[in-house]
Amino acid sequence: MKKLILASQSPRRRELLAQLGYQFTCCPADIDETVQLHESPKEYVERLALEKSACIAKEQAETTLVLGSDTCVVYQNCILGKPENLAQATDHLTRLSGNTHQVLTAIAVVQGQFSKAVVVCTDVTFKTLTTQEIINYWHTGEPQDKAGSYGIQGIAGQFVKHICGSYSAVVGLPLYETAQLLAEFSCPTPVHSS
């Protein structure tokens, strides 16, 4: 079995990868997550997932697989990052209210000189939110460290009317695509057929 490292400290990504049956260690990557000039949301998440993986992989043996992931919430081609305060969260959630937005999650595997990334796009439709609902939600503490100011796996799940795509990708790690990508690097899940 190849050594596998998850380049993340996200408890959600850790739970999802463990759900697939992998044995792995976690090692968060410290990279600059600033969006570059003229960078599309897809290019942005793909670059960050690859940079996270590469950052950890350079300190590892050639045989070690490093899995990195990044998620961004996009509305009308604008990336909604993690909110710095209530005003920013209110702005994000007001935009998402009653509308459909995209959640892009990139996964990337780096092993020595080899790397590959995959981007998964999921459409998420919110119900119409009142200002009071947004304020109450902020005070739960949940939106503070979440892209787009919400966590679908938590309290905000009740805001979601419809989802088209991968639920696990919205949480932070697309299960199907992750299993397929790791299998390409000869690291199958325990139930994967060769």
70 classed as catalytic: yes
Indicate which residue of 30, 70, 91, 123 is catalytic: 70
Paired tokens of 109: 């595997």
Paired tokens of 11: 């408890």
Contact (CB, 8 A) for 153 and 167: no
Distance in angstroms (rounded) separating the CA atoms of residues 190 and 175: 14
Contact (CB, 8 A) for 100 and 84: no
Paired tokens of 108: 């990337």
Residues labelled as active-site residues: 70
